[in-house]
Amino acid sequence: MRLIGWLILWSSLLPLSSWGKPGTNGKHDELLQKMRTTKNTREKIHLYEELFDAYMEFDRKRAFRSLEELTEFAEKKHSREGMAKAEELKGLYFLDFQQADSAIFHFRKQLSYLSPRQPENRAKIYGNIGLMFNAKNQPDSAIIYFNKALNICRTTDCGSAYCGVLNNLGMTVFNLGNTKKSEQYFREAYHCSIEQGETGNLPTIMNNLIIASISNGKSNNPDRLFFDFLENPGFEISNEVKATVYMNLGSFYFRNSQWGNAKKYFLIADSIFRKTGKRNPEIIHFLGNIYLQEKQYPEALGAFREVIRLFPHYNQSGKLYREIANTYAAEKELDSARFYYELALKTADSLKIQSVSAALEQTKHNLDFLRKESEIRELTWKQKVKESNELRIRFIGIGIIVVLVLLVIIAVLFFRKERGKRRLNEALIQRKNERIREFADKVESRNRAIAEIEQKFSEYRDKQDMQEQLKEDVIESLFLDGDKEVFGYYFEDQHKGFYEALKRVAPSLTNNDLRLCSLTRMRLSLKETADILNLSVDAVKSGRYRVRKKLDLEADVNLSDFLNDLK
């Protein structure tokens, strides 16, 4: 019994029946014009895809060249999306030519360009690779890739692709003899199609589900199941599917030696295939065997010969020749029987030679496939190295930019700080200059006062009663409190924290004591100190003695040294 496959071709590739139609080659000129004017990378990739479809209608070599141009464009633009699309279309191109190894090679390259954020696309590619391994008659590898696709689709919305993966996985395990597992997959595919509203493929899935159910012994009367399926108004069933359903019914009854029912359904299937313009050699072969069982030898020979005439490369020709020989032997035509027995032997020998050649060819293909896999790994490695280098250059560039930005920030902060210092120093200098001017003005006032005193002294030196008045004028003129303030300011500026430290050692020191200490720290002599303070030398000595007592100094300690060492 025959299962119906469901190809998972997710692409804008046109159906085979539409390729090669005359008069469809005008669209590519319009697409080429658009490609010359568009600047958008994604839009240009889409135009390349449409151009490939257009060329496939009349010039497949040119179609493949358009894919090479798309690859060059994507590499130039560093577009992973463009590279993925080019590899996908190349895979479908080789799939159409039944070149499974080349198709697998390009589908795997497509995987290397896909983003991890595109799991549904990855599932579709796995499904296509699984189909190609089925075409290579490597079901174990096909199952591995179908399961990869299935695992993604169970956690990600793959749409109707999920239904296709389930159907194709069911077909693969059915052909390996696991009918129970295949029925489970077909049933899941059926429910998936209902949920997705994908009724177009329901007939295919239903046919496969019924066959799996019958194979598992769940029905001894499959007619009702198939007729319910064929008469379902919700399905749009193609003639090819109908013919396959009747062929499956015929196969069921043939296996159970019910020749009448088998012949009836095979004849219905053959008549439907005739309407589609496609004959099926297996149906005609089955009919010949039924005629042989019913001893209708001329009808059997007619069916067998029709297979040879219509299908000269029929893959069951050796078996067919033996059955023709058996038919002639039954009719006692021994020469003809001998001829076909010898032809069957020659065919068997030829098949052995072909088998050996096929094995050698398969080995060659496998070696080519291994070479292509090696190329994929090499390309993948080169791509990773390229990406690594680009990433390293990017990081180095970012690092240089960061360093430059930091240097600029540091330079700006430094210049702001220096400008602040400069402004502060200018303010301090300005303040000092103001105080100096004030001090100069006071000195000038004192000098004028001294000149006036000398003049009065000369006028009143002979008048005793004017001495008291003169004394008061002298005191009033020379009592300039600002001198002390100015002196304290400049002294503190040059000896930071001296007064504060001195107060911590002897809190009882008066302002006059502090001024005496500051002059002593400057190592001025008694006379110099007396002149500045307008005191007698003895008064200065007494003042120093008083300070030593307050500081609690020993007799052998020099006051000037102590004050200079004070921190």
pLDDT of residue 12: 25
pLDDT of residue 402: 92
On whether the CB atoms of residues 87 and 107 are closer than 8 A, the answer is yes
**DSSP output for 9-55:** --SSPPPGGGTT-TT--SHHHHHHHHHHH---HHHHHHHHHHHHHHH
pLDDT of residue 159: 84
pLDDT of residue 24: 44
The rounded distance, in Å, linking the Cα atoms of 180 and 238 is: 27
Q: How far is CA 563 from the centre of its chain?
A: 76
pLDDT of residue 439: 57
pLDDT of residue 28: 74
Token pair in block for residue 77: 């633009």
On whether the CB atoms of residues 142 and 133 are closer than 8 A, the answer is yes
pLDDT of residue 13: 26
pLDDT of residue 459: 65
pLDDT of residue 35: 84
pLDDT of residue 410: 92
The rounded distance, in Å, linking the Cα atoms of 265 and 18 is: 32
Low-confidence ranges of the chain (pLDDT < 70): 1-26, 198-200, 203, 219-222, 225, 229, 232-235, 351, 354-356, 358-359, 361-362, 365-366, 369-370, 372-373, 429, 432-433, 435-451, 453-454, 456-496
pTM over 0.85: no
The rounded distance, in Å, linking the Cα atoms of 314 and 332 is: 27
Say yes or no: domain 497-565 is CATH 3.40.50.1220: no
DSSP label of 314? -
**Which pairs count as long-range contacts for 178-181, CB under 8 Å and 24+ apart, including other chains?**
179/212, 179/215, 179/216, 180/216
| pLDDT, tens only, 460-494 | 555 555 555 554 555 454 444 455 555 665 566 65
Sign of CA dihedral 92, 95, 96, 99: positive
On whether the CB atoms of residues 88 and 110 are closer than 8 A, the answer is yes
Closest CA to 108 of 148, 161, 162, 155: 148
Token pair in block for residue 209: 């589900």
pLDDT of residue 493: 60
List, by residue range, all CATH 1.10.10.10 domains of the chain: 497-565
pLDDT of residue 4: 45
| pLDDT, tens only, 415-457 | 888 888 888 877 876 776 576 566 556 655 665 666 676 676 6
